[in-house]
């Protein structure tokens, strides 16, 4: 069983009950959950790899605009499965190529894409630790 970090970003938090239903329907176990209004500093830290990119300021403004729901999901191949379920980063691309995906349903544009999923084992571990620093590392 693998763990991944899912974020329900500020633009989709008002739909979090509905999204959690879908998560459970797909057979994920919700291990931990935390609501957190990220500061611009925390957002910059979380997305440090994108520092200096054109979209970085709007990404920071978006992610610190309201509370985010961080959820640790567990399932076999959770990382790949969750990224498949949320779909492409860009909402329009998600609508064109994966209309059933969660970003196609809940996203607004290329920045406001409503959801996040860790992209590898090492980012999952780093990101889980970011939101749940006290959680036990297996």
Shortest distance (Å) from residue 52 CB to ligand ATP: 13
Shortest distance (Å) from residue 50 CB to ligand ATP: 6
Shortest distance (Å) from residue 59 CB to ligand ATP: 5
How many CA atoms does the CB half-sphere of 113 hold within 13 Å? 22
Dist CA 52 CA 109 (whole Å): 20
Query: How would you classify residue 28: left for phi > 0, otherwise alpha for psi between -120 and 50, otherwise beta?
Result: beta
116 is catalytic: yes
Dist CA 92 CA 63 (whole Å): 19
Q: Phi, psi at residue 120, to the nearest 5°?
A: -160, 170
- Report 47-106 residues binding ligand ATP (CB under 6 A): 47, 50, 55, 59, 89
Among 111, 125, 130, 132, binds ligand ATP (CB under 6 A): 111
Provide the annotated active-site residues. Answer: 116
Contact residues: ligand ATP, CB under 6 A? 47, 50, 55, 59, 89, 110-111, 113, 116, 119
């Amino acid at each position: 069983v693998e763990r991944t970090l899912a974020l329900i970003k500020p633009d989709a938090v008002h739909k979090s009950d509905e999204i959690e239903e879908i998560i459970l329907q797909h057979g994920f176990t919700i291990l931990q959950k935390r609501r957190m209004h990220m500061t611009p500093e925390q957002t910059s830290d979380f997305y440090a790899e994108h520092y200096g990119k054109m979209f970085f300021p709007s990404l920071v403004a978006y992610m610190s605009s309201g509370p985010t729901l961080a959820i640790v999901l567990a399932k076999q191949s959770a990382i790949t499965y969750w990224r498949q379920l949320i779909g492409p980063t860009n909402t329009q691309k998600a609508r064109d190529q994966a209309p059933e995906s969660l970003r196609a349903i809940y996203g607004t544009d290329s920045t406001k894409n409503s959801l996040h999923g860790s992209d590898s084992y090492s980012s999952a571990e780093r990101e889980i630790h970011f939101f749940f620093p006290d959680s036990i590392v297996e």
